[in-house]
Amino acid sequence: MAKTIETVEAALSGPTPGQVLRGRIFGHRGLMFGGVVLAAICIVALLAPVLAPHDPYSQNLLARMQPPVWFDKGTWDHPLGTDHLGRDYLSRLIYGARISLLIGGVAALISGLIGTLMGVAAGYFGGKVDTVVTFIINVRLAMPVVLVALAVVAVFGGSLQVVILVLGLLLWDRFAVVMRSSTQQLRSMEYVNAARAIGCSTSRIVFSEIMPNIVNSLIVVVTLEMAHAILLEAALSFLGLGVQPPTPSWGLMVAEGKKMLLFEPWLIAIPGVALFVLVLVINLLGDGLRDVSAPENRN
Amino acid sequence: MIYTLKRLGLAILVALAVSMLSFTLLHLSGDPASAIAGESATDADIAAIRAFYGFDRPLIVQYADWLFSALRGDFGESYYFQLPVAQLIGDRLSITMTLGICGITFAILTAVPLGVAAAVRPNSMIDRVALFISVMGQAMPSFWFGLVLVVIFSIKFRLLPPSGTDGWQNFVMPTVVLGYYAMPAIMRLTRAGMLDVLSADYVRTARAKGASEMRVMFKHALRNAIIPVVSLSAVQMGFMLGGSIVVESIFALHGAGYLAWESIGRNDLPTVQALILIFALFYIVFTFLSDLLNAWLDPRMRVG
């Protein structure tokens, strides 16, 4: 008898919201794949000094352009071969993950701060603030990103810090657009009105009523912009106006391999595939997070 | 009419702000005079160059001077070529425009049919293929995709020239690379729009009154779903022209983007300055057109 009641109760109560969310996360293939691979890349980047078989900067002119191990002449000493200066390609690839993740992460952080601040202010206050922010967003969208980034890096010199700062200061537009419209939708919600009615300060309303409700879309934009920043850095470095040699940036590795395109196409294939995989898993993670946080938008 | 004027005013203000920003940014760089003079120049040489180009005047005066000349189509003289910038750019722009038009055409011709097919049978094989293609396109670095195409079509099969600006063959790979870059967004929007429209009442009504499936698809559904796609394409076109700098430099296609890349390397400020403004104007004009197009196609938008 007692057992029957328990069963009925279990059937009635169903899974808790936490269980539902966990079920959705673990049941989403793209999200799981993206998350696991991205985590693996992050671990490899963190453990680079331990995992890299060689120093990514040490040159060996006697062992130049050795092919990867799956070619006839490849050896396990350099599993992905060596580049035109005899540097171990695998080690450079591993250290390159650090560069890409660092640039993607910090640039997304800077642009996220700028964009969220502007977007939330525009959405919450409306009126003149909104007009001004919308205008600034329009101006930013009209600036050709690649061209402006190249010109600024040329002026201030291509160090890691400059590239991160330039990308962070250029890529906030999507944050501002998304945060603005999300905040606008929330502004007239009953609980926001209620908070205002009981006399909450603006900062309290923004931080405890608005922010928790837009953090989902914020995370999705963070992933998108991180991927965007990584691709842009690679493009800038490829064009010679990003991170400078001998830093092992993946974009730079493709540029250096381009000279040997005719005979050694694997030199561009390896860093290119690495870039592709990193951006792909970040995008999959972002798409997955969007699906999970708002299942009604799944299509 | 009021809507058009408002949009136009906004577009002009945005263009002004962009020109001001880029001017300040480039002139903050320190001393353009010593960059032109080179490393072996004496102080007197640098001072002479500074006076010749007017770098000793306040920035705001230099900007006003530049802006009023630019409005008359005079962008100054290139430091490197010693030629009027307007003439230099004019020759190159047609190549970039051709590339942009080919690219957007390629993108639309692949994205729209794929998006429609995906929406007609959600979760089918074709839907998955379409999703796969768009996810790939978003993650593929365009410069790398370009090089891969060169390896396959120029080196392996010797079908297409790897670089240069001699004939239509030179435009094939750049078109594919640039088009593929713009394609995922257009495809996703077509698919989402079609899904929306196909569940609308008027589509059900059309089916109920016995319209053929073809007629329902093209006359009723696609015509409505295509509105946002048209305006997105215009915006993408503006973006693509700005992004053509990467594609043009991979294939050494001598368009405005390639010129921009070279000029940045040569410290050729007037040319870079003019190109930033022109690429920004492209974007502004295309968004303006897309706004008007939207308002014309969908009267509800005219209120905004």
**Are residues B192 and A299, on separate chains, in Cβ contact within 8 Å?**
yes
Helix (H) or strand (E) holding A157: none
State how far the Cα of B264 lies from the Cα of A241, in Å rounded to an integer.
Answer: 9
CB atoms within 10 A of CB A234: 33
CB atoms within 10 A of CB B228: 18
Helix axes A211-238, A145-156, angle to 10 degrees: 70
Domain that holds residue B263: 97-270
Kindly state whether residue B8 falls inside one of the protein's structural domains.
no
pLDDT of residue A7: 65
Q: Phi-psi bin for A245: left (phi > 0), alpha (psi -120 to 50), beta? A: beta
Q: What are the contacts of A23-31 at 24+ separation with CB within 8 A? A: A24/A292, A24/A295, A25/A292, A28/A288, A28/A291, A28/A292, A30/A284, A30/A285, A30/A287, A30/A288, A30/A291, A31/A284, A31/A285, A31/A287, A31/A288, A31/A289, A31/A291, A31/A292
Kindly state whether residue B148 falls inside one of the protein's structural domains.
yes
Kindly state whether residue B242 falls inside one of the protein's structural domains.
yes
What's A88's DSSP letter?
Answer: B
With beta carbons under 8 A apart, name residues in chain B contacting A272: 141, 144, 147-148
* Nearest residue in A to B193, CA atom: A299
User: Least CB-CB distance to B29: which of A139, A143, A155?
Assistant: A155
With beta carbons under 8 A apart, name residues in chain A contacting B261: 150, 239
Is the distance from CB of A12 to CB of A266 less than 8 angstroms?
Answer: no
State how far the Cα of A111 lies from the Cα of A133, in Å rounded to an integer.
Answer: 15
Among A8-17, B110-119, B209-218, the range of highest mean pLDDT: B110-119
Determine the residue type at B177: V
State how far the Cα of A208 lies from the Cα of A202, in Å rounded to an integer.
Answer: 10
Q: Give the rounded distance of the alpha carbon of A193 from its chain centre.
A: 35
With beta carbons under 8 A apart, name residues in chain A contacting B267: 154
- CB contact, 8 Å: B279 with chain A? yes
Give ipTM to 2 decimals: 0.85
The 3-state DSSP class for residue A82 equals strand
Kindly state whether residue B119 falls inside one of the protein's structural domains.
yes
Higher local confidence (pLDDT), A48 or B37: A48
- CB contact, 8 Å: B240 with chain A? no
pLDDT of residue A298: 47
pLDDT one digit per residue (tens) for chain A, 299 residues: 556 666 666 666 667 777 777 777 777 888 889 999 999 999 999 988 888 788 888 787 777 777 887 877 777 777 787 887 878 888 899 999 999 999 999 999 999 999 999 999 999 998 899 999 999 999 998 888 888 888 888 888 878 899 999 999 999 999 999 999 889 888 888 998 899 899 888 889 988 888 888 888 898 899 999 999 999 999 999 998 888 888 889 999 898 888 887 778 888 888 999 999 999 999 999 888 888 876 554 44
The shortest C-alpha distance from A11 to chain B (Å) reads: 31
Helix axes A29-46, A266-293, angle to 10 degrees: 130
Higher local confidence (pLDDT), B48 or A201: A201
Mutate to test the interface with B, among A143, A220, A230, A231 (most CBs of B within 10 A): A143
| A76-100 per-position pLDDT tens digit | 777 787 887 878 888 899 999 999 9
Tell me the H-state helices in A61-188: 89-125, 127-142, 145-156, 160-170, 173-187
Mutate to test the interface with A, among B26, B92, B144 (most CBs of A within 10 A): B144
User: Least CB-CB distance to A151: which of B13, B142, B272?
Assistant: B272
Of A265, B258, B156, which is closest to residue A254 (Cα–Cα)? A265
**Cis peptide leading into A246, omega within 30 of 0?**
yes
State how far the Cα of B171 lies from the Cα of B165, in Å rounded to an integer.
Answer: 8
Q: Is the pLDDT of residue B28 over 80?
A: no
Total number of domains constituting chain B: 1
Kindly state whether residue B301 falls inside one of the protein's structural domains.
no
**Are residues B284 and A142, on separate chains, in Cβ contact within 8 Å?**
yes
Of B175, B146, B178, which is closest to residue B162 (Cα–Cα)? B146
**Are residues A268 and B15, on separate chains, in Cβ contact within 8 Å?**
no
Kindly state whether residue B7 falls inside one of the protein's structural domains.
no
With beta carbons under 8 A apart, name residues in chain B contacting A251: 141, 143
Determine the residue type at A23: G
Residues 6+ apart with CB under 8 A from B301: B291, B294, B295
State how far the Cα of A214 lies from the Cα of A59, in Å rounded to an integer.
Answer: 49
The shortest C-alpha distance from B212 to chain A (Å) reads: 26
Tell me the H-state helices in B28-168: 32-37, 43-53, 59-71, 85-120, 125-139, 142-149
With beta carbons under 8 A apart, name residues in chain B contacting A238: 141, 143, 246
| B132-184 per-position pLDDT tens digit | 999 899 899 988 999 999 888 888 887 888 777 777 888 889 999 999 988 99
With beta carbons under 8 A apart, name residues in chain B contacting A262: 155
Q: Is the pLDDT of residue B30 over 70?
A: no
**Are residues A150 and B242, on separate chains, in Cβ contact within 8 Å?**
no
**Are residues A146 and B246, on separate chains, in Cβ contact within 8 Å?**
yes
Kindly state whether residue B237 falls inside one of the protein's structural domains.
yes
Of B212, B186, B202, B204, which is closest to residue B113 (Cα–Cα)? B186
Q: With the C-alpha atoms ordered B18, B241, B178, B186, is the resulting torsion angle positive or negative?
A: positive
Locus of tokens 């006697």: A62
Instruction: Give the rounded percent of residues in chain B with a pLDDT score beyond 70.
Output: 94
Kindly state whether residue B57 falls inside one of the protein's structural domains.
no
With beta carbons under 8 A apart, name residues in chain B contacting A155: 25-26, 28-30
| B252-280 per-position pLDDT tens digit | 888 888 999 988 888 888 888 889 888 89
Give Cα separations from A290 to A109, A207, A284 (angstroms): 19, 22, 10
User: Least CB-CB distance to A276: which of B17, B140, B276?
Assistant: B140
pLDDT of residue B45: 76
**Are residues A155 and B17, on separate chains, in Cβ contact within 8 Å?**
no
CATH code, B154:
1.10.3720.10
- CB contact, 8 Å: B84 with chain A? no
The 3-state DSSP class for residue A16 equals coil
